[in-house]
Amino acid sequence: MSKTPIEFIFLTFGERTHYHSQLIYSMISLVAHSPLERPYHFTIVTDKPEFYQWLDGDLFTVVQVEESILSEWRGPFDFFWRIKIEAILYVAKKNSEHHCVYFDTDTIAYTDLSLLYDALDNGLNHMHVKEFEFESTKGRTGKKMKTHGLGKTYGDFTLTKQSAMWNAGVVAISAKNDPVQTLNSALTACDAMCDDGMERKLIEQFSLSLALQANKLSDAEDCIRHYWGNKPQWDNLITEFFTRVFLKGLSFNDAVEMFKLQSHDLPDVVKETKLEKYKNSIAKRYNKLTGKL
């Protein structure tokens, strides 16, 4: 019996090469931990296709997007992270019979992915981890969103105390759950929340959470690591990895085998001290005032 193919989707743009290196490293990790019998394909949505010339063969498709498309994807309320939903939807429309699996660049697979793929076959969507439900949220952003939106309807979804926020470092939609319709529902909810003046910080993530949990939804943290809170250490590891790949003249498949021997004894999140938080806060304010953000 043939297995439903996995369509892996990545999105990155801009000149900062460490994001592009993270993306390729994430792809390598997925190949290293995917069972041989499962067909899969990678689509990379980017404005820098020249950064992906090392990737050769039918396994990879690089979709170049111009600034005009990125501007269009920001939508009627000029919301930057709406681009993420649009990019996933763009690829899902071209591969509607595949499981639709998006990863942020700062993720890696760290164990066999068979259970994740089998769960998708059975109609179970995945995001990285549940962050909070409205009923129990304690964070500043969650409280603001709860106060603003509880009881309101955005698109297909009415917010209740059980409405949950999931981390969108992983967005995996089973082919059984109509990825295109699911993502269109997320877009509609996203635009409705923007129109209503909802706290914007996590709107695209919350919209995806609502859309995916309309069907069965589970976490993916048992096989995927998301190092959003410790990028400097991980970037150093990845830079060293690709330096060795370059110096040895290795192919992508060679790099996959090298990855299998790589140690990842690094934390995914490093908590800032109070002094570091203060310094970073000052730096962000300065950059905002000087137009660097």
Mean pLDDT for 194-205 is: 94
Res. 18: pLDDT tops 60:
yes
Position with higher pLDDT, 292 vs 184: 184
Res. 292: pLDDT tops 60:
no
Give the residue extent of every domain in the chain.
6-289
pLDDT in the model for residue 137: 87
Partnered with residue 128 across adjacent β-strands are none
Mean pLDDT for 196-220 is: 95
217-260, pLDDT tens digit by residue? 999 999 999 999 999 999 999 999 999 999 999 999 999 999 99
Cα distance between residue 39 and residue 57, in whole Å? 15
Position with higher pLDDT, 199 vs 219: 219
Res. 293: pLDDT tops 60:
no
Position with higher pLDDT, 199 vs 235: 235
Res. 29: pLDDT tops 80:
yes
- Return the percentage of the chain with pLDDT > 70, whole number: 92
Cα distance between residue 11 and residue 191, in whole Å? 20
pLDDT in the model for residue 2: 82
Taking the domain 6-289, which CATH number applies? 3.90.550
Mean pLDDT of the chain: 93
pLDDT band at 291 (very low <50, low <70, confident <90, very high): low
88-142, pLDDT tens digit by residue? 999 999 998 999 999 999 999 999 999 999 999 999 999 999 999 988 888 888 8
pLDDT band at 190 (very low <50, low <70, confident <90, very high): very high
pLDDT in the model for residue 141: 87
